[in-house]
């Protein structure tokens, strides 16, 4: 009897504890969400000085305020922000697809007087930033003005800002014009000191496949130095060329100022022609009012600024609440009616162009919005192929590559799309290298940006052995039995060698031969010609066009227009694949796994880029992984 009472009391107590804990979690989640809504809506590409009511119409004389203080992504989120694990703070994001469309709309919007850019720092690859700058140039070509002002210009932010008609700097501000460079960290000596040996296998003559060099060398190989120098020259050719043209100086003069660090004081920026003048913020607003901007009713002598997030979706708050209601079960919506409509819809002629976004490193499995999972992306391509309403497909690629196997799975679906008679245009963004090129090479037409990083046609595998570390430093010993000679050939404590190493090399060579064979078939080249420009060599988009790996230059919108034209579509709809991952599901999943590890590392002071790089290294040195052979770009590149 006493046991029964104790059991019931324990059960009741546990149940109440679970209910209370669950309620607390909901209150914490909702509280953090509501607490972050205001800052999130104000932070999506807009300034902190925005004063407007959510949901109101755009007033005449409004100035679109761009700060670029949120990371740029290929595809914008349905919600204006997500909650970040750990801090429970809102993380905003700019979608390139949204931005390009919104700049076209703003150019035709009679209520938008002009654009104010106040970008202190812009982080990203040269290619995507170049697309953003080109979109701003098109806006300016409509006859409307752009004014740039900042307290401090980083090099990337200044490059973007020079698209403006007028560029101003704070009187006590500064500029970073120190030029471009790249640096690689080498691990060979550290691994040797730890007692870890790295066995590296590469495709034949893949001398440029430098992702493995940090484990083999303590400096750059001549081949790697050659391709890095060529890549930087192309980057600076675009960036420096834009700056020089915008500011009316030659490249020689610009390079002279950069090499001598001539811009040291704010007045230097004026006297050397980098900016048009020095202004405090109140003087800036007075200048905007003189240019025709409306005055903000809530703040005297201030121009009426509208943040980009509010301009993109004036009803974002209402959309968020509706989404919350659906997700939390407050409003039950049946999809039966939608399914019925789909079932009864006429299967007429194709009237849509599908854009399939392939973003992130390539791996087997489902993946997510930041990772190319072969199942998810191949499934999206398959869905587009089987949909009678889809007449053409644009494969938007922003990937450094990854698993060779997963890349081949996706490549096969692009081939089947072409066999089904649907034109395929590959649109290369920042990266379409190695595996990213693999999944693009079968397209009917490939468009890139001049500074797209592509090529890197090659494969490698890394097989670590920590025998010295485990035995001599940690004190572990190993023994066992086996029935076959090479049953333990791949082991964490014994370097691979002999017949087993020969077998791995043969497998890597086979994958490389398949890779260049696919490229040759897709590009109409001989295998020998592909091999000459492959061998792991990284190319910029402009150089890739000259050697036949790319057909032309163009952005996502150009690719869509080309695909529609190839399919004979004039008035067409745009469909995006794959279905975005629900942000609330993503938030819950972030409590475990990769996001949690990343949050802990960042809390310890490890930069986010370094965390990403370390996790990618773990992916291809994991002996249990089925994707050990990689077709991956060896660099993480950002312009600041």
Q: Which residues form the catalytic set?
A: 209, 434
- Give me 544's structure tokens: 């890739």
For residue 6, what are the CA distances in angstroms to 9, 10, 15, 16, 42? 5, 6, 14, 15, 54
Q: What does the block give as tokens for 143?
A: 């006859």
User: Cβ atoms within 10 A of the Cβ of 334, count?
Assistant: 7
Give residues with Cβ within 8 angstroms of 575, minimum separation 6.
352, 353, 354, 355, 384, 387, 389, 390
Tell me the angle at which helices 498-523 and 404-419 cross, rounded to the nearest 10 degrees: 30
Of 68, 95, 246, the closest CA to residue 157 belongs to 68
Query: Do the beta carbons of residue 111 and residue 52 sit within 8 Å?
Result: no
Query: If you write DSSP's letter for every residue of 586-600 in order, what string do you get?
Result: HHHHTTSTHHHHHHH
- Regarding beta strands 305-307 and 552-553, do their DSSP bridges make them parallel or antiparallel, or are they unpaired? unpaired
402 torsion bin: left (phi>0), alpha (psi -120 to 50), beta (else): left
Q: Which residues contact 588 (CB under 8 A, 6 or more apart)?
A: none
CB distance 292 to 113 below 8 Å: yes
Secondary structure (3-state) at 482: coil
Q: Could you tell me which of 573, 539, 238, 570 has the C-alpha nearest to residue 387? A: 573
As separate numbers, helices (DSSP H) first and strands (DSSP E) second, the chain gives 24, 25
Question: Is residue 433 a contact partner of residue 455, using CB atoms and an 8 Å limit?
Answer: yes
CA 109/CA 86 separation, integer angstroms? 40
424: enclosing H helix or E strand? strand 424-433
| 496, two tokens | 């691979």
Q: Which two structure tokens, joined as six digits, stand for 476?
A: 């572990």
Is 164:148 a contact under the CB 8 Å cutoff? yes
Provide the angle, in degrees to the nearest 10, between the axes of the packed helices 96-108 and 556-566: 90
| CA dihedral of residues 393, 396, 400, 401 (deg, nearest 10) | -20
Beta bridge partners of 399: 432
Q: Which long-range contacts (CB under 8 A, 24 or more apart) does 318-322 make?
A: 318/55, 319/78, 319/79, 320/37, 320/79, 320/80
* Encoded tokens for 633: 């770009």
Contact in structure between 406 and 535 (CB atoms under 8 Å) = no
First to last CA, the chain: 72
User: Which element (helix H / strand E) includes 15?
Assistant: helix 2-43
* CA 276 – CA 166 distance, rounded (Å): 6
E strand or H helix at 396: strand 390-399
Q: Is the distance from CB of 194 to CB of 472 less than 8 angstroms?
A: no
């Amino acid at each position: 009897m006493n046991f029964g009472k104790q059991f019931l009391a324990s059960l009741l107590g546990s149940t109440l504890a679970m209910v209370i804990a669950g309620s607390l979690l909901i209150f914490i989640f909702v509280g953090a969400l509501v607490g972050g809504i205001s800052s999130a809506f104000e932070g999506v590409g807009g300034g902190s000085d925005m004063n407007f009511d959510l949901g109101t119409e755009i007033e005449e004389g409004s100035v679109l305020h761009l700060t670029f203080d949120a990371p740029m992504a290929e595809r914008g989120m349905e919600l204006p922000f997500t909650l970040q694990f750990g801090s429970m703070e809102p993380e905003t994001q700019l979608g390139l697809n949204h931005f390009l469309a919104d700049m076209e709309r703003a150019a035709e919007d009679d209520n938008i007087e002009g654009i104010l850019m106040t970008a202190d720092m812009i982080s990203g690859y040269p290619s995507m930033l170049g697309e953003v700058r080109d979109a701003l140039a098109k806006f300016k070509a409509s006859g409307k003005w752009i004014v740039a002002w900042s307290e401090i210009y980083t090099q990337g932010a200044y490059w973007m800002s020079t698209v403006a008609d007028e560029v101003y700097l704070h009187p006590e501000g500064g500029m970073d014009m120190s030029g471009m460079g790249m640096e690689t960290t080498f691990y060979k000596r550290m691994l040797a000191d730890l007692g870890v040996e790295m066995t590296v296998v590469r495709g034949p003559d893949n001398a440029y496949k430098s992702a493995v060099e940090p484990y083999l060398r303590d400096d750059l190989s001549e081949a790697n130095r050659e391709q890095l120098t060529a890549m930087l020259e192309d980057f600076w050719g675009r960036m420096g060329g834009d700056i020089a043209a915008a500011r009316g100086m030659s490249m020689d003069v610009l390079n002279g100022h950069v090499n001598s660090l001539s811009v040291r004081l704010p007045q230097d920026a004026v006297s050397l022609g980098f900016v048009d003048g020095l202004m405090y913020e109140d003087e800036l607003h007075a200048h905007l009012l003189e240019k025709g901007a409306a005055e903000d009713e809530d703040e005297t002598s201030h121009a009426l600024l509208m943040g980009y997030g509010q301009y993109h979706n004036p009803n974002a708050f209402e959309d968020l609440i509706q989404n919350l209601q659906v997700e939390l079960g407050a409003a039950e919506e049946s999809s039966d009616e939608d399914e019925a409509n789909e079932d009864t819809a006429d299967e007429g002629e194709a009237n849509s162009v599908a854009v399939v976004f392939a973003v992130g490193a390539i791996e087997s499995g489902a993946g997510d919005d930041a990772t190319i999972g072969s199942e998810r992306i191949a499934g999206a391509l398959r869905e587009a192929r089987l949909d009678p309403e889809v007449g053409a497909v644009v494969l938007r690629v922003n990937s450094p590559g990854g698993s060779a196997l997963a890349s081949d799975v996706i490549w096969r679906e692009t081939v089947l799309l072409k066999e089904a008679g649907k034109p395929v245009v590959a649109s290369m963004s920042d990266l379409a290298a190695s595996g990213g090129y693999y999944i693009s090479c079968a397209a009917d037409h490939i468009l890139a940006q001049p500074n797209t990083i592509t090529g890197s046609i090659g494969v490698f595998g890394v097989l670590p052995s920590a025998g010295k570390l485990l035995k001599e430093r940690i004190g572990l010993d190993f023994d066992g039995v086996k029935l076959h000679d090479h049953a333990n050939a791949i082991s964490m404590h014994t370097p691979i060698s002999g017949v087993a190493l020969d077998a791995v090399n043969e497998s890597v060579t086979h994958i490389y031969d398949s890779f260049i064979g696919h490229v040759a078939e897709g590009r109409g080249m001989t295998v020998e010609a592909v091999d000459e420009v492959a061998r792991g060599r990284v190319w910029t988009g402009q150089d890739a066009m000259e050697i036949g790996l790319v057909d032309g230059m163009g952005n996502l919108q150009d690719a869509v227009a080309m695909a529609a034209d190839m399919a004979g579509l004039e008035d067409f709809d745009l469909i995006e694949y794959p279905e975005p991952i629900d942000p609330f599901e993503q938030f819950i999943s972030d409590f475990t796994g990769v996001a949690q590890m990343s949050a802990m590392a960042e809390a310890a002071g490890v930069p986010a880029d370094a965390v990403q790089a370390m996790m990618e290294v773990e992916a291809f040195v994991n002996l249990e992984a089925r994707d050990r052979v990689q077709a991956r770009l060896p660099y993480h590149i950002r312009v600041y």
